[in-house]
């Protein structure tokens, strides 16, 4: 029982990367329990779960999905808003402070942190780091890893993220509706499914995101992406362009450019950064903005072609494409546009 509880703690910890507002619901991925819905996104998620079950049939899923029956059991959350006063809480914010981020990485990769943190009832974390690979390589946790039956080859963020994401998180009905309203446009002609070409443009500090950092080497990103699309990709009645950006102006410019034949789409709503919320937005606008962030994330995982900025947001979203072909038609903007060819591919510059 102690191993099961530690494993549950371990798996959720390894996934905590800063995408913070999903309403999460643990659910079985047994294919006999999959409920087929008319909902487009729901069907896609169920298909992924079925494929995951087939490809990773050796993994101890019952251990991954174990959930203690007592509500007094230890929990780990992004932000524990419902913690009772009599529960001991550890709060960690490792999103900006580089020294703290490094200390967290060292602790999770090389110490028996499960024992140290067992004194707390709730652990609330904010982080934008990947802890999947280091936590599974931690020598103090190898008994748990063996019980999970995850091989060393599989113990990487690229291989495990699609699994952890789909079994730990489920979009709300509101998110699924927003995504479906976009995806249904790809299937309005039942005989031909339109190709979805996605652009994620992250330019940094601008009037939409005044608290953001200035991103260097991105002055011509918009023009470069447009030229790449026009030169290398087929834009016709069987394709659509999805745009998500940190700039309202960029969004509108792309929509206008490809809107002559109604081929450009986006999810409406305020543009926010989950780590840099602007005080200019009301609470309702922030909520709507978060819904847009989550919906954008799901759509980016459904793209046939994805051209992305150097950004954790689109890079994590692209990993949901793994089961189909994560690296098929995947491009990164890094002082130019380069095709990402596989796990071993490295971007040409550290700063993009």
Q: Give the DSSP per-residue string, 204-235.
A: EEETTEEEEEEPTT-TTHHHHHHHHHHHHS--
**Predicted confidence (pLDDT) at residue 278 exceeds the cutoff of 80:** no
**Predicted confidence (pLDDT) at residue 30 exceeds the cutoff of 50:** no
The Cβ of residue 273 has, within 10 Å, a number of other Cβ atoms equal to: 17
Q: Whole-angstrom Cα distance, residue 39 to residue 50?
A: 16
Question: Is-contact 338 347, C-beta < 8 A?
Answer: yes
Q: Which residue has the higher pLDDT, 31 or 146?
A: 146
The Cβ of residue 181 has, within 10 Å, a number of other Cβ atoms equal to: 14
pLDDT at 248: 92
The residue-averaged pLDDT of 19-41 equals 43
Q: Say how many residues make up the chain.
A: 352
Q: Of all helices (H) and strands (E), which one includes residue 202?
A: none
pLDDT band at 110 (very low <50, low <70, confident <90, very high): very high
**Predicted confidence (pLDDT) at residue 35 exceeds the cutoff of 50:** no
Q: Whole-angstrom Cα distance, residue 26 to residue 166?
A: 9
pLDDT at 87: 79
Partner residues linked to 339 by β-bridges: 331
Q: Which residue has the higher pLDDT, 237 or 217?
A: 217
**Predicted confidence (pLDDT) at residue 36 exceeds the cutoff of 80:** no
The dihedral formed by the CA atoms of 118, 120, 126 and 129, expressed in degrees to the nearest 10: -10
> Between the CA of residue 180 and those of 36, 166, 186, what are the distances in Å?
15, 18, 10
pLDDT band at 9 (very low <50, low <70, confident <90, very high): very low
Question: Is-contact 49 167, C-beta < 8 A?
Answer: yes
pLDDT digits (tens, 9 = 90+) for 64-92: 776 665 555 555 544 445 556 677 888 88
What is residue 309's three-state secondary structure?
coil
pLDDT at 24: 34
pLDDT band at 19 (very low <50, low <70, confident <90, very high): very low
Name the average pLDDT for the chain: 81
Query: So what's the architecture of 173-339 in CATH?
Result: 3-Layer(aba) Sandwich (3.40)
pLDDT band at 199 (very low <50, low <70, confident <90, very high): very high
**Predicted confidence (pLDDT) at residue 267 exceeds the cutoff of 80:** yes
Q: Of all helices (H) and strands (E), which one includes residue 340?
A: none
The residue-averaged pLDDT of 94-104 equals 83
pLDDT at 72: 55
Q: Of all helices (H) and strands (E), which one includes residue 337?
A: strand 337-339
Q: Which residue has the higher pLDDT, 186 or 262?
A: 186
pLDDT digits (tens, 9 = 90+) for 325-349: 778 899 999 999 999 998 788 999 9
Q: Which two tokens stand for residue 329?
A: 């038609």
Q: Which residue has the higher pLDDT, 116 or 70?
A: 116
pLDDT digits (tens, 9 = 90+) for 150-172: 888 887 777 788 888 888 888 99
Q: Whole-angstrom Cα distance, residue 177 to residue 299?
A: 12
What is residue 93's three-state secondary structure?
strand
The Cβ of residue 25 has, within 10 Å, a number of other Cβ atoms equal to: 10
**Predicted confidence (pLDDT) at residue 3 exceeds the cutoff of 50:** no
**Predicted confidence (pLDDT) at residue 232 exceeds the cutoff of 80:** yes
Confidence (pTM): 0.81
Q: Give the DSSP per-residue string, 247-286.
A: -HHHHHHHHHHTTTTT-EE---S----TTS--TTS-HHHH
Q: How far apart are the first and last CA of the chain?
A: 47
Question: Is-contact 243 264, C-beta < 8 A?
Answer: yes
> Between the CA of residue 186 and those of 144, 164, 197, 240, what are the distances in Å?
43, 28, 11, 7
pLDDT at 263: 87
pLDDT digits (tens, 9 = 90+) for 205-214: 888 777 788 8
pLDDT at 70: 56
Partner residues linked to 93 by β-bridges: 126
Q: What residues does each domain of the chain span?
A: 2-168, 173-339
Partner residues linked to 197 by β-bridges: 241, 305
Q: Which two tokens stand for residue 292?
A: 């847009």
């Amino acid at each position: 029982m102690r191993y099961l509880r530690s494993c549950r703690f371990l798996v959720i910890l390894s996934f905590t990367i800063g995408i913070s507002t999903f309403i999460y619901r643990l659910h079985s991925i047994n294919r006999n329990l999959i409920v087929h819905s008319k909902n487009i996104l729901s069907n896609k998620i169920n298909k992924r779960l079925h494929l995951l079950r087939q490809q990773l049939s050796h993994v101890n899923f019952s251990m991954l999905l174990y959930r203690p029956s007592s509500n007094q059991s230890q929990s780990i959350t992004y932000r524990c808003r419902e913690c009772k006063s009599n529960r001991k809480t550890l709060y960690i914010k490792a999103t900006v402070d580089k020294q703290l981020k490094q200390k967290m990485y060292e602790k999770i990769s090389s110490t028996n942190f499960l024992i140290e943190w067992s004194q707390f009832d709730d652990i609330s974390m904010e982080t934008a780091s990947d802890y999947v690979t280091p936590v599974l390589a931690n020598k103090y946790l190898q008994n748990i890893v063996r019980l999970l039956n995850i091989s060393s080859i599989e113990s990487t963020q690229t291989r495990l993220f699609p699994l952890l994401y789909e079994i730990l998180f489920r979009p709300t009905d509101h998110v699924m509706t927003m995504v479906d309203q976009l995806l249904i446009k790809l299937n309005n002609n039942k005989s031909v499914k339109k190709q979805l070409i996605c652009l994620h443009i992250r330019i940094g500090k601008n009037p939409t995101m005044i608290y953001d950092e200035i991103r260097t080497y991105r002055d011509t990103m918009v023009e470069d992406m447009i030229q790449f699309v026009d030169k290398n990709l087929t834009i016709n009645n069987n394709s659509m362009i999805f745009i998500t950006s940190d700039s309202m102006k960029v969004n509108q410019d792309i929509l206008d450019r490809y809107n002559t034949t109604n081929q450009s789409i986006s999810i409406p709503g305020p543009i926010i950064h989950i780590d840099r919320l602007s005080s200019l937005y009301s609470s309702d606008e922030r909520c709507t903005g978060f819904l847009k962030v989550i919906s954008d994330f799901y759509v980016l995982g459904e793209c046939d072609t994805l051209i992305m900025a150097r950004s954790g947001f689109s890079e994590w979203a692209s990993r949901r494409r793994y089961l189909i072909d994560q690296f098929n038609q995947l491009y990164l903007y890094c002082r130019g546009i380069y095709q990402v060819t596989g796990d071993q591919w490295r971007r040409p510059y550290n700063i993009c």
